[in-house]
Amino acid sequence: MTIVRFLIRRILTGIVVLWLVASGTFFLFFARPVATVARQLAGKEATPAVINQAIKDLGLNQPIGVQYWHFLDRLVHLNLGHSYFTQQSVDTTLRQDLPPTASLVVGGTILWLIVGLSIGILSATRARSLFDRLSTVGVLIGLSMPQFVIGEFLLLVVFVPLNQHGFHWVQDQYAGPSQGIVTWAGHMILPWITLAAVQAAVYTRLMRGQLLSTLGEDYIRTARAKGLSERRVIFRHGVRSALTPVVSQLGVDVGGFLGGVVVVESVFGLGGIGQVAVQSIQTEDLPVIIGFVLVAAAFVVVANILVDLAYGLLDPRVRIS
C-alpha cells in the first residue's frame, strides 16, 4: 500500500501542476483587451468578420472570471477550441499529429536507455580497458554531432543505399502501428537512432561515473567480503543504487523533448506536434499554441510521474518521505 499512496500523491501533484499551467496560460493570453485577444486567437491574417466571430464563439466580452470558468470546463471535456487559420478543431489536429511525436520520443528513449546504460555498465566494470577507451571516443563523437547532421547522414548512408538495392524495410516519413509493428519500426528506426545518439552518449558517461562511484562504497566491499558473486554485487547492489540519479535525469530529459524533436521530425518528414507548433507560431494561431502548451505540460507531468514511480521502486526511502 505504501507504493500506492506514493503514486496517488504524485498523481494529485501532477493534477495541481496541470491546473497551474492551464491557469497561467489562460491569464497570459486572455487577461488583455478583448480586441487584442480576439485578433491573436483568430491569427494575423484574420478579417474583421472572423475577429467578431471569435469574440462571439469564445465569449470574450464576458467578465474574465466567467471566461476562466468556461475555459476550465472546456479543458475538462477535452475541448481545446478550433484553429481560425485552418478551420480545424485543435483536438483533431493534436490527435492527428501526436502519434508520430509519441512514437519518436518513446522509441528513442527506450533505445538510448538500452544502449547508454549497457555501455556505461560495461565501461564501469572494465575501467581503463580498451572497451572503456573506445566508448569514451564514441561518447565524444555522439556529443559533438548535431541531430540534423546525424539524421542526414543516416539518410545518405543507410536509407538511400538500402532502398537502391531493393531493401525497402527502412523508410522515412511516418507509418503508425496500425499498419503493422514491423512496418512501423521500419519507418521509425532511423529517427529513433537519430534522437538516441546524443542522449545515449550522455547516459553512458552518467552511468559509468555513478557506477564507478557506487562500486567504491563500503557496503559494496562488505557484500564482496560476504562471498557474493561479482554479478550479484554489481547488478543487485551497484547498478540499483547508481540508477537513482540516472532516473532523475531521465525525467528532465524526456520532459523537454517535445520542443526538441521538431528537428528530427523535419529531417525524416514525420509530421508531429513539434512541426505543428512551429507553424502555429509563424501564423500566430493562438488556439493551437495553447493546445500545444497544455499537451506538453501533460506530457511532462506523466513522464515525471513514471520517473517518480521508478525512483520509488529503486529507493524505498523515497516512498516514505
Q: What is the pLDDT of residue 303?
A: 80
Report yes or no: 144 and 176 within 8 Å, Cβ to Cβ. no
Mean pLDDT of 259-277: 79
Q: Which are the contacts of 153, defined by CB distance < 8 A and separation ≥ 6?
A: none
Comparing CA positions, the residue from 25, 140, 10 lying closest to residue 74 is 25
Mean pLDDT of 84-97: 79
Enter the CATH code of domain 97-319: 1.10.3720.10
Q: What is the pLDDT of residues 106-132, one digit of tens each?
A: 888 888 889 888 988 888 888 888 888
H or E stretch including 120?
A: helix 90-125
What residue type is assigned to position 209 of the chain?
A: G
Q: What is the pLDDT of residue 250?
A: 81
Q: What is the mean pLDDT of the chain?
A: 81
Which string of b and e fits 118-148 if b means at least 16 CB within 10 Å? ebbbbbbbeeeeeebeebeeebeebeebebe
Q: What is the pLDDT of residue 34?
A: 67
- In which residue are the cell numbers 541531430 written? 147
Q: Which are the contacts of 46, defined by CB distance < 8 A and separation ≥ 6?
A: 39, 54, 84
Q: Which are the contacts of 234, defined by CB distance < 8 A and separation ≥ 6?
A: 121, 125, 211, 215
Q: What is the pLDDT of residue 315?
A: 66
Q: What is the pLDDT of residue 260?
A: 63
Q: What is the pLDDT of residue 45?
A: 62
Q: What is the pLDDT of residue 84?
A: 67
**How many C-alpha atoms does 108 have within 13 Å on its Cβ side?**
28
Q: What is the pLDDT of residue 164?
A: 86
Mean pLDDT of 136-160: 85
Instruction: Tell me what percent of the residues of the chain surpass a pLDDT of 90.
Output: 2
Q: What is the pLDDT of residue 36?
A: 67
Domain boundaries, the chain: 2-76, 97-319
Q: Which residues pair with 89 in a beta bridge?
A: 82
Mean pLDDT of 232-239: 82
Comparing CA positions, the residue from 270, 218, 211 lying closest to residue 241 is 211
Q: What is the pLDDT of residues 290-316, one digit of tens each?
A: 888 888 888 888 888 887 777 767 766
Confidence of residue 198 (pLDDT cuts 50, 70, 90): confident
H or E stretch including 44?
A: none
- In which residue are the cell numbers 471566461 written? 67
Report yes or no: 50 and 57 within 8 Å, Cβ to Cβ. no
Residue 318 predicted with pLDDT over 60: no
In DSSP notation, 146-169 reads: -HHHHHHHHIIIIIHHHHHTT--S
Confidence of residue 252 (pLDDT cuts 50, 70, 90): confident
Q: What is the pLDDT of residues 39-69, one digit of tens each?
A: 666 666 666 777 777 777 767 777 888 888 8
Backbone angles phi and psi of 136, in degrees to 5: -65, -40
Q: What is the pLDDT of residue 177?
A: 85
Q: What is the DSSP letter of 239?
A: I
- In which residue are the cell numbers 528532465 written? 252
Q: What is the pLDDT of residue 71?
A: 83
Residue 35 predicted with pLDDT over 70: no
Distance, in Å, from the CA atom of 229 to the CA atom of 238, rounded to the nearest integer, reads 12
